[in-house]
Structures are given as structure tokens and as C-alpha cells.
């Protein structure tokens, strides 16, 4: 088996997945602002925004590490996505409170799921494991 180094071109599916994940991060920022402004009268808004910033920062770092070909980051993102899946029912509440935020949350979930499918395709897995597959004809 041939190995590849860090500077080799990444498969298109990995590039697309990383781009989708960064897009979901941007959506998360917009949702945080929308939810924060909707709850601005509530006590503890500073704490809530601090948590949102910490989560967004962690997710940004995780996406960056996925882009740097760290298999543990890819697996961690999958585990976090699966653990967060039951919370999808909370999107129904989001739609009732702020329909735009609910729609953006739904878009986040769909884009993250598509990105994960891309990240676990055979050519993507081979890249994360330090191998490459021959081009398909």
C-alpha cells in the first residue's frame, strides 16, 4: 500500500464535507444570534451566549482538525452527532418560537448528516487512514 503525506490533495468528498461543516458552523453563529436576541430579556443571557461561543469554538476546532486529516476528529464528530440526534425533537420547539431559527437548525442537521456520509465513504476513510485508493474509472 502506498502512503500519502499531509500535503497531498484531499478527495473531493472530504473537501465538500469540510466545506459543509464550516457552513453549518456559520449557521450556528446566525442561530446563536437569533436565539440570543429573542432571549435578551431573560436572565443569564451572558451565560447562554458564553456557552454558545464555547460550543461554536469547539466545533470550529474539530472541523479544522477534520480538514487536517485527523481521524479521531472525524470519529468524534460522528459520535457527537449521534449523541445529539435525540435532541432533534427540540427543533419542533424552535419552529414554534422562532421559525427562521428552526429552519436553520433543520438545515444544520441535514448538512451535517450529508457531510458525515461524505467523510465515511471508502476514499475518505482511506485518506484518514493514510492510504489512497486508485481512481475509479
The predicted structure's pLDDT at residue 114: 98
The predicted structure's pLDDT at residue 37: 66
**Average pLDDT along the chain:** 84
Query: Higher pLDDT residue, 50 or 103?
Result: 103
Q: Report which of 100, 89, 113 is spatially closest to residue 34, judged by C-alpha positions.
A: 100
Q: In DSSP terms, which residues pair with 103 in a beta bridge?
A: none
Q: Model pTM? A: 0.82
Q: Ranked by mean pLDDT, which of 21-35, 40-54, 65-79, 97-111 comes out on top? A: 65-79
State pLDDT tens for residues 7-56: 457 899 999 999 999 999 999 999 888 877 666 555 566 777 788 889 99
The domain locations on the chain are 12-128
Q: Report which of 55, 70, 54 is spatially closest to residue 14, judged by C-alpha positions.
A: 70
Amino acid at each position: 500500500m502506498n502512503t500519502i503525506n499531509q500535503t497531498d490533495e484531499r478527495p473531493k468528498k472530504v473537501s465538500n464535507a469540510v466545506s459543509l461543516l464550516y457552513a453549518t458552523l456559520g449557521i450556528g453563529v446566525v442561530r446563536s444570534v437569533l436565539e440570543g436576541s429573542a432571549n435578551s430579556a431573560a436572565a443569564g443571557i451572558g451565560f447562554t451566549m458564553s456557552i454558545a461561543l464555547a460550543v461554536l469554538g469547539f466545533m470550529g476546532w474539530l472541523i479544522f482538525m477534520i480538514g487536517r486529516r485527523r481521524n479521531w476528529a472525524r470519529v468524534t464528530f460522528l459520535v457527537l452527532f449521534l449523541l445529539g440526534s435525540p435532541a432533534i425533537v427540540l427543533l419542533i420547539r424552535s419552529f414554534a418560537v422562532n421559525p427562521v431559527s428552526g429552519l436553520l437548525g433543520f438545515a444544520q442537521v441535514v448538512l451535517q448528516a450529508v457531510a458525515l456520509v461524505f467523510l465515511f465513504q471508502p476514499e475518505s476513510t482511506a485518506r484518514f487512514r493514510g492510504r489512497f485508493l486508485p481512481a475509479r474509472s
